[in-house]
Amino acid sequence: MSFRSFGMLALALVVAHAAHSQEKPEVPTEDYVKAQYTKYEYRIPMRDGVRLFTSVYVPKDQSHPWPFMVDRTPYSVAPYGEDQYKKELGPSDEFEKAGYIFVYQDVRGRYMSEGKFIEMDPHIDDKKSKTDVDDSSDMSDTVDWLLAHVPNNNGKVGIWGISYPGFYTSASIIDSNPAIKAASPQAPMTNLFEGDDAYHGGAFMLAANFGFYTFFKPFAEPSTGAQTPRERFNMGTPNSYEFYLKATPTSLLDTRDLKGSNPLFSDQLNHTIFDSYWKARDLSQHMRNVHCAVMTVGGWYDAEDLSGPWRTWHAIEKANPGTPNTIVEGPWVHGGWARSDGASLGDIAFNAKTSEFFRKEIQFPFFEYYLKGKGEAPPEAYMFETGTNVWRKYPSWPPAGAQPKMLYFHADGKLSFEAPSGNGGKDYDEYVSDPTHPVPFVPYVTDTVPQRYMVEDQRFASTRQDVLVYETDPLTEDVTIAGPITPKLKIASSGTDSDFDVKLIDVYPNDYPDPEGTSSGNKRILGAPPLHMGGYQELLRGEPMRAKFRNSWEKPEALTPGKVTDLEFEMPDLDHTFRKGHRIMVQVQSSWFPLTDRNPQTFTDIPHAKPEDFKKATEQVYHSPTEASGVQVMVLPQP
């Protein structure tokens, strides 16, 4: 038996965990919650005297004790008032039916909680007094209070949260309270400068950050529960490409458009290197003394926090030997496992309701096992393998047997696992990057960052003169990659700084069958004809790398024009099979707009770069035997 085959779980074999839970009656969800739970509201005191607003939903069934499920959030525990109930409780419907004591808490300085809100409040390793507080101490104080004041609990606590609440989940288990038995940080913000929301490869995630911080702001009156309405900023155009292109310098977004009203956005925009601001907020450096079981969850297509789950999981693995530590990745957008069926994204179908499977067969059993002693522990890695569209269990990650192999660039746009032989011809390919006409990240007009861009058809980019394209011959057998993806380039530029955006792509055969003859999920342009999937260039991974950070995130260095330079960086992991008959493609470009901010291609302070600082640059990517470029992937042997 192959080492991989034991982990294959065909989704057609999914069975419901209904044996131990009562069926939910056909009534409005809020009425069901009211019928089964009693709501209480508390202001729980922390060790420094600050009180945190907390809603607690207790099962009316008091025949046996229940564990706690806690969600700490900066996004409000509304509705407020003991007669006002949430429509649903817990991470999914299974929890609500099975019975838990559900706890929701406004974190410091948000909505009804006292104190001062600090963006990704830095952890304090050595707490010397009661005034040394952080999210770990707040969670511990909350747990102690709940155990003492909420009757009929079984003394066990579980935590979960997605995105920012995922960060709070991770922060809460450092030096964890002994009563915390299970935690699931999901899409956790971990290091905003190195791959999460703010910066990727040193490039600012422009459109997503501006869009987020136009509504996420500090709140001045937390004691009243007053909320600033979530309003979309009026760009004056439906075309974000046009709007951001005119925002030169990008600091205008802060000073002109937001009028300096949001210091959170100012911090993200202006801390352009890995300085003390970011270092203090790198939670991966503090994930010690984690005494509970952890299941970190992420999505292969998470446009916000793609690297956070991996950094969190690796940090726990390294600093806490013996702690049960699981990583789960599925074909989801940011938080998609919680609110969708996970059957498709854009034009790409996964042939199964992957989110429903996760909620019923992975997430719910994890908490049931560690909080109620039911079922069994999960494996170390639970992965949805795209391409073949199957779930796989692995006892380690990357899987045993995965070997690093280079996909080498060759002349004439060839891509191969064989190294260049030097049979004559030019040693490099080149293109002219013009920052006044940057490469768009999607082929249609949009005023947001569409979640589907993570699997978008890249044919629009492969026809541009400022995008290099390397492609294999049609594959004669399946090729499965499982692990991190590492571009290793030899580059030269006529500029003193440039971005190099690398994209790994799955190219479908030209005669690829579409079961319905069309792609019904194509909503990209109103009135556009359906898209045939033959020849589709599916984006799998794409990341920018700002060349001035090639040696250090802290001390950027200018490029020497014309000098060949190494450029190596790591992209987040993937578990994907390129099917027989498909091709593997790699694209290289120097802008990806307005997903990332534009590099002026001069060594300068980019947020304050003036129009005259933006200059064309000739970019060269080498592929000779002595100066080979390519992308390293972890390849699994076929069963």
Three-state secondary structure string covering 360-387: HHHHHHHHHHHHHCCCCCCCCEEEEEEC
Considering only residues 511 and 604, tell me which one the structure prediction assigns the higher pLDDT.
604
pLDDT of residue 511: 87
Burial bucket for residue 353 (CB in 10 Å: 0-12, 13-18, 19+): middle
Number of Cβ atoms within 10 Å of the Cβ of 164 = 23
pLDDT by residue (tens digit) across 379-430?
999 999 999 999 999 999 999 999 999 999 999 999 999 999 877 678 999 9
DSSP 8-class letter at 284 = G
Count of H helices and E strands in the chain? 14, 26
pLDDT of residue 30: 64
Give the three-class secondary structure for 484: strand
Mean pLDDT of 202-208: 97
Indicate left, alpha or beta for 291 from its phi (over 0: left) and psi (-120 to 50: alpha): alpha
Closest CA to 40 of 19, 22, 55: 55
Q: Is residue 220 a contact partner of residue 616, using CB atoms and an 8 Å limit?
A: no
Indicate left, alpha or beta for 187 from its phi (over 0: left) and psi (-120 to 50: alpha): left
Closest CA to 571 of 603, 598, 539: 539
Kindly compute the dihedral angle of the four CA atoms of residues 504, 506, 510, 511, in this order, to the nearest 10 degrees: 180
Kindly compute the dihedral angle of the four CA atoms of residues 438, 441, 442, 446, in this order, to the nearest 10 degrees: -80
Number of Cβ atoms within 10 Å of the Cβ of 298 = 28
- For the chain, the average pLDDT equals 91
Indicate the pTM of the whole model: 0.91
Q: Give the side-chain half-sphere CA count within 13 A for 74.
A: 23
For residue 68, what are the β-bridge partners?
101, 157
Closest CA to 182 of 146, 158, 156: 158
Q: d(Cα 541, Cα 570) in Å, to the nearest integer?
A: 11
Q: Is residue 54 a contact partner of residue 103, using CB atoms and an 8 Å limit?
A: yes
pLDDT by residue (tens digit) across 94-109?
999 999 999 999 999 9
Q: Say which range, 229-238, 239-248, 326-335, has the weakest mean pLDDT.
A: 229-238
Burial bucket for residue 362 (CB in 10 Å: 0-12, 13-18, 19+): buried
Percent of the chain past pLDDT 90, that is, above it, reads: 87
Q: Which helix (H) or strand (E) holds 240?
A: helix 240-246
Q: pLDDT at residue 154 above 80?
A: yes
Q: Is residue 482 a contact partner of residue 577, using CB atoms and an 8 Å limit?
A: no
pLDDT by residue (tens digit) across 4-44?
333 333 333 332 232 233 334 445 566 899 999 999 999 99
Q: Which helix (H) or strand (E) holds 266?
A: helix 263-270
Mean pLDDT of 545-568: 98
Q: What is the DSSP string of 134-186?
A: -HHHHHHHHHHHHHHHSSSEEEEEEEEEESHHHHHHHHHTTT--TTEEEEEEE
pLDDT by residue (tens digit) across 360-383?
999 999 999 999 999 999 999 999
Give the three-class secondary structure for 580: coil
C-alpha pair distances (Å), 557 with each of 193, 198, 614: 18, 21, 18
Q: Is residue 360 a contact partner of residue 16, using CB atoms and an 8 Å limit?
A: yes
Q: d(Cα 420, Cα 433) in Å, to the nearest integer?
A: 26
Strand pairing class (101-106; 51-59): antiparallel
Q: How far apart are the first and last CA of the chain?
A: 8
Strand pairing class (571-578; 203-204): unpaired
Query: Treating both helix axes as pointing N-terminal to C-terminal, what angle do 164-172 and 308-319 enclose, rounded to 10 degrees?
Result: 10
Q: Radius of gyration over alpha carbons of the chain, in Å? A: 25
pLDDT by residue (tens digit) across 246-302?
999 999 999 999 999 999 999 999 999 999 999 999 999 999 999 999 999 999 999
Closest CA to 330 of 306, 366, 304: 306
Kindly compute the dihedral angle of the four CA atoms of residues 356, 360, 364, 366, in this order, to the nearest 10 degrees: -100
Q: d(Cα 216, Cα 232) in Å, to the nearest integer?
A: 11
